[in-house]
Amino acid sequence: MTLQRDVDTLRNIPLFSKIEPSKLKLLAFTSERLEFPPGELVCQQGERGDAAYIVLQGEADVFVETPDGPVRVARLGRNDIIGEIAILCDVPRTATVIASTPLVTLRISKDAFFNLVTQFPEVAIGVMHELASRLFQTTQRLTEVSARLRKLEGERA
């Protein structure tokens, strides 16, 4: 029953909605359902990325280390992807993710994720769309912060 529940859950995630049921079953079978209590670490900035996580239930906070300490940059919820940057780009994790509520995820290994993206271009397009959206939001935030800094520097001069 758990496998069918995971297949049904994946089918309801926009990123996977167009994938045929037999392939979703294989993805669900090769994935691992993980639960994290509030405050538990999902992944750590700087570590090697060996999997991506799909949020099935709950929320997680995304933190980036700065010279002044960690800064929360996002909150992820149902159907969001965690950790895809590290496995797509083969770079260390770019952020730390911590469960902010009871969190249920589906852990997809790097190999399974690449097989999925290779076999289903629509999944790759969905991941690109998500990454582009995050980049756009980050650029907007940086622009706002930059403008505030220029204003503060102007007030000091």
Q: Cα dist. 75→10, 40, 80, 138, 157 in Å?
A: 21, 15, 10, 13, 37
For 3-9, what is the mean pLDDT? 81
Domain regions of the chain by residue span: 2-156
Would you say domain 2-156 falls under CATH 3.30.70.100? Answer: no
Render pLDDT for 13-40 as a digit per residue (tens, 0 to 9).
Answer: 777 777 788 888 888 888 899 999 999 9
Contacts of 100 (CB under 8 A, 6+ apart): 38, 58, 59, 60, 61, 75
What pTM does this model have?
Answer: 0.77
